[in-house]
Amino acid sequence: MWAQDWGQDRTAIAAQVPKPRVVQHRGRRYSIRLETAFWKFLEYLAGRQDVRLGRYIAGLAASYGGNNLSSYLRVVCMLEAERSVAEAILDPTRDSLLTLVRDCPSPGVIVSRSRTILGYNTAFAHWLGPGPRVLAGSELTDVLQVRTTLPLNEMWTDMITGTQGTVNAHVLRVSPGRVSAAQATIVPLRSDVGEGFYAVMWLEVKRPTGAAKSEKSAVDRRISEPETLPR
Protein backbone atom coordinates (compact mmCIF):
# COMPACT_ATOMS: atom_id res chain seq x y z
CA MET A 1 0.00 0.00 0.00
CA TRP A 2 2.81 2.39 0.88
CA ALA A 3 4.54 1.84 -2.46
CA GLN A 4 1.25 2.22 -4.35
CA ASP A 5 0.42 5.49 -2.54
CA TRP A 6 3.77 7.04 -3.39
CA GLY A 7 3.64 5.65 -6.89
CA GLN A 8 0.44 7.60 -7.49
CA ASP A 9 1.94 10.85 -6.17
CA ARG A 10 4.44 11.35 -8.95
CA THR A 11 4.54 15.11 -8.48
CA ALA A 12 5.95 14.78 -4.95
CA ILE A 13 8.56 12.28 -6.13
CA ALA A 14 9.57 14.40 -9.12
CA ALA A 15 10.12 17.38 -6.84
CA GLN A 16 12.77 15.47 -4.87
CA VAL A 17 15.60 16.33 -7.21
CA PRO A 18 18.91 17.17 -5.50
CA LYS A 19 19.39 20.93 -5.46
CA PRO A 20 22.74 22.59 -4.76
CA ARG A 21 22.92 25.38 -2.19
CA VAL A 22 25.72 27.31 -0.60
CA VAL A 23 25.32 28.17 3.08
CA GLN A 24 27.84 30.01 5.19
CA HIS A 25 28.65 30.76 8.80
CA ARG A 26 31.39 33.06 10.08
CA GLY A 27 32.93 33.38 6.66
CA ARG A 28 33.06 29.67 5.93
CA ARG A 29 31.05 28.43 2.95
CA TYR A 30 29.51 24.98 2.59
CA SER A 31 28.45 23.79 -0.86
CA ILE A 32 25.79 21.12 -0.39
CA ARG A 33 23.54 19.19 -2.74
CA LEU A 34 20.32 17.80 -1.18
CA GLU A 35 16.76 16.92 -2.11
CA THR A 36 14.03 19.46 -1.29
CA ALA A 37 12.62 17.39 1.57
CA PHE A 38 16.01 17.35 3.35
CA TRP A 39 16.48 21.10 2.90
CA LYS A 40 13.06 21.74 4.44
CA PHE A 41 13.76 19.43 7.35
CA LEU A 42 17.16 20.97 8.04
CA GLU A 43 15.52 24.42 8.10
CA TYR A 44 13.00 23.05 10.58
CA LEU A 45 15.75 21.61 12.80
CA ALA A 46 17.67 24.88 12.72
CA GLY A 47 14.53 26.83 13.59
CA ARG A 48 13.83 24.50 16.49
CA GLN A 49 17.18 25.55 17.95
CA ASP A 50 16.51 29.18 17.02
CA VAL A 51 19.61 29.46 14.84
CA ARG A 52 20.20 30.19 11.16
CA LEU A 53 20.60 27.28 8.77
CA GLY A 54 24.25 28.16 8.13
CA ARG A 55 25.11 28.01 11.81
CA TYR A 56 23.23 24.74 12.28
CA ILE A 57 24.99 23.07 9.36
CA ALA A 58 28.35 24.46 10.49
CA GLY A 59 27.84 22.78 13.87
CA LEU A 60 27.05 19.45 12.21
CA ALA A 61 30.02 19.80 9.87
CA ALA A 62 32.33 20.42 12.84
CA SER A 63 31.21 17.17 14.46
CA TYR A 64 31.47 15.14 11.24
CA GLY A 65 35.01 15.29 9.92
CA GLY A 66 34.28 13.16 6.84
CA ASN A 67 34.37 14.01 3.15
CA ASN A 68 30.68 13.64 2.23
CA LEU A 69 28.77 16.26 4.19
CA SER A 70 25.62 15.91 2.08
CA SER A 71 25.34 12.22 2.93
CA TYR A 72 25.94 12.96 6.61
CA LEU A 73 23.17 15.58 6.63
CA ARG A 74 20.75 13.05 5.13
CA VAL A 75 21.61 10.63 7.93
CA VAL A 76 21.07 13.33 10.56
CA CYS A 77 17.65 14.10 9.08
CA MET A 78 16.65 10.45 9.08
CA LEU A 79 17.80 9.93 12.68
CA GLU A 80 15.98 13.05 13.84
CA ALA A 81 12.82 11.90 12.07
CA GLU A 82 13.09 8.44 13.64
CA ARG A 83 13.68 9.99 17.07
CA SER A 84 10.59 12.17 16.69
CA VAL A 85 8.46 9.16 15.82
CA ALA A 86 9.95 7.13 18.65
CA GLU A 87 9.35 9.92 21.19
CA ALA A 88 5.72 10.19 20.10
CA ILE A 89 5.31 6.53 21.05
CA LEU A 90 6.06 7.42 24.67
CA ASP A 91 3.21 9.90 25.04
CA PRO A 92 1.68 10.60 27.49
CA THR A 93 4.28 9.02 29.82
CA ARG A 94 7.26 10.49 27.97
CA ASP A 95 7.74 13.66 29.99
CA SER A 96 7.65 11.94 33.38
CA LEU A 97 10.00 9.18 32.28
CA LEU A 98 12.47 11.56 30.65
CA THR A 99 12.43 13.71 33.79
CA LEU A 100 13.16 10.73 36.03
CA VAL A 101 16.11 9.61 33.94
CA ARG A 102 17.44 13.13 33.49
CA ASP A 103 17.39 13.79 37.23
CA CYS A 104 19.28 10.61 38.09
CA PRO A 105 23.04 11.04 38.72
CA SER A 106 23.82 7.60 37.26
CA PRO A 107 24.14 7.17 33.49
CA GLY A 108 20.77 6.21 32.05
CA VAL A 109 19.29 5.75 28.58
CA ILE A 110 15.67 5.14 27.46
CA VAL A 111 15.17 2.60 24.68
CA SER A 112 12.11 1.76 22.60
CA ARG A 113 10.69 -1.66 21.70
CA SER A 114 12.87 -1.67 18.58
CA ARG A 115 15.91 -0.69 20.71
CA THR A 116 15.94 2.86 19.36
CA ILE A 117 17.51 5.36 21.78
CA LEU A 118 14.78 7.81 22.81
CA GLY A 119 16.65 9.87 25.36
CA TYR A 120 19.50 9.86 27.87
CA ASN A 121 20.83 11.96 30.72
CA THR A 122 23.93 14.11 31.12
CA ALA A 123 25.71 11.40 33.12
CA PHE A 124 25.37 8.99 30.18
CA ALA A 125 26.79 11.57 27.77
CA HIS A 126 29.73 12.17 30.13
CA TRP A 127 30.37 8.43 30.39
CA LEU A 128 30.56 8.16 26.61
CA GLY A 129 33.25 10.81 26.60
CA PRO A 130 34.00 13.58 24.09
CA GLY A 131 33.64 13.19 20.37
CA PRO A 132 31.07 13.53 17.59
CA ARG A 133 27.91 11.48 18.04
CA VAL A 134 24.25 11.41 17.17
CA LEU A 135 22.57 9.28 19.83
CA ALA A 136 18.83 9.94 19.84
CA GLY A 137 17.28 7.89 17.07
CA SER A 138 20.24 5.51 16.86
CA GLU A 139 19.95 1.78 17.45
CA LEU A 140 21.32 0.92 20.90
CA THR A 141 23.83 -1.62 19.59
CA ASP A 142 25.18 0.91 17.09
CA VAL A 143 26.32 2.97 20.08
CA LEU A 144 27.23 0.27 22.61
CA GLN A 145 28.26 -3.36 22.62
CA VAL A 146 25.74 -5.03 24.93
CA ARG A 147 26.58 -8.47 26.26
CA THR A 148 24.08 -10.59 28.18
CA THR A 149 24.08 -14.20 29.36
CA LEU A 150 21.93 -15.13 26.36
CA PRO A 151 21.92 -13.49 22.90
CA LEU A 152 20.57 -9.95 23.24
CA ASN A 153 17.83 -10.50 20.65
CA GLU A 154 16.52 -13.46 22.61
CA MET A 155 16.65 -11.61 25.92
CA TRP A 156 14.94 -8.59 24.39
CA THR A 157 12.10 -10.68 23.00
CA ASP A 158 11.62 -12.30 26.40
CA MET A 159 11.45 -8.88 28.08
CA ILE A 160 8.84 -7.70 25.57
CA THR A 161 6.68 -10.79 26.11
CA GLY A 162 7.04 -10.49 29.88
CA THR A 163 8.84 -13.81 30.41
CA GLN A 164 12.06 -12.00 31.38
CA GLY A 165 12.37 -9.33 34.03
CA THR A 166 15.35 -7.12 34.76
CA VAL A 167 18.47 -8.09 32.81
CA ASN A 168 22.09 -7.65 33.86
CA ALA A 169 24.51 -6.81 31.07
CA HIS A 170 28.07 -5.75 30.35
CA VAL A 171 28.37 -2.79 28.00
CA LEU A 172 31.35 -1.56 26.03
CA ARG A 173 31.86 1.70 24.17
CA VAL A 174 34.76 1.79 21.73
CA SER A 175 35.79 5.11 20.21
CA PRO A 176 39.10 6.40 18.80
CA GLY A 177 41.63 6.41 21.63
CA ARG A 178 39.08 5.45 24.26
CA VAL A 179 37.39 2.29 25.55
CA SER A 180 34.72 2.54 28.25
CA ALA A 181 33.18 -0.46 30.00
CA ALA A 182 30.51 -0.78 32.66
CA GLN A 183 28.02 -3.14 34.19
CA ALA A 184 24.43 -2.32 33.32
CA THR A 185 20.90 -3.12 34.44
CA ILE A 186 18.12 -3.12 31.84
CA VAL A 187 14.70 -2.48 33.38
CA PRO A 188 11.74 -3.42 31.14
CA LEU A 189 8.71 -1.14 31.41
CA ARG A 190 5.26 -1.89 30.08
CA SER A 191 2.48 0.55 29.34
CA ASP A 192 -1.06 0.47 27.97
CA VAL A 193 -0.21 3.17 25.40
CA GLY A 194 1.99 3.32 22.31
CA GLU A 195 4.07 0.23 21.62
CA GLY A 196 3.34 -1.08 25.10
CA PHE A 197 7.03 -1.58 25.92
CA TYR A 198 10.23 0.33 26.40
CA ALA A 199 13.19 -0.01 28.73
CA VAL A 200 15.63 2.01 30.79
CA MET A 201 19.24 0.92 30.96
CA TRP A 202 21.27 2.12 33.95
CA LEU A 203 25.06 1.97 33.92
CA GLU A 204 26.84 1.16 37.14
CA VAL A 205 30.01 3.23 37.37
CA LYS A 206 32.34 3.67 40.32
CA ARG A 207 31.79 6.83 42.34
CA PRO A 208 33.72 8.27 45.30
CA THR A 209 30.72 8.01 47.68
CA GLY A 210 27.56 5.96 48.01
CA ALA A 211 25.32 8.99 47.57
CA ALA A 212 24.92 8.59 43.82
CA LYS A 213 23.99 4.93 44.19
CA SER A 214 21.31 5.65 46.77
CA GLU A 215 19.87 8.47 44.66
CA LYS A 216 19.80 6.21 41.60
CA SER A 217 18.05 3.46 43.57
CA ALA A 218 15.36 5.89 44.67
CA VAL A 219 14.71 6.99 41.10
CA ASP A 220 14.85 3.36 39.92
CA ARG A 221 12.12 2.41 42.37
CA ARG A 222 9.96 5.27 41.16
CA ILE A 223 9.96 4.02 37.56
CA SER A 224 9.75 0.31 38.31
CA GLU A 225 6.97 0.45 40.91
CA PRO A 226 4.28 -0.13 39.87
CA GLU A 227 5.26 -2.36 36.96
CA THR A 228 2.92 -0.59 34.54
CA LEU A 229 3.41 3.09 33.86
CA PRO A 230 0.58 5.57 34.43
CA ARG A 231 -1.76 6.26 31.55
Domains of the chain: 2-64 (no CATH), 89-224 (3.30.450.20)
pLDDT for res 229: 41
pLDDT for res 59: 92
pLDDT for res 23: 94
pLDDT for res 51: 93
Residue 209 CA to residue 109 CA, distance in Å, equals 22
pLDDT for res 148: 94
pLDDT for res 85: 57
pLDDT for res 190: 72
Using 70 as the pLDDT threshold, list the residues of the chain that sit under it.
1-15, 82-96, 131-134, 191-196, 206-231
Task: Select from 208, 213, 188, 226 the least CA-distant residue to 107.
Answer: 213
Residue 33 neighbours by CB distance under 10 Å: 11
Instruction: Find how far residue 76's CA is from the centre of its chain.
Output: 11
Pair 178, 199: CB distance under 8 Å: no
Question: Cα dist. 191→3, 157, 165, 194, 209 in Å?
Answer: 32, 16, 15, 8, 34
Cβ-proximal residues to 111 (8 Å cutoff; 6+ apart), any chain? 117, 118, 140, 198, 199, 200, 201
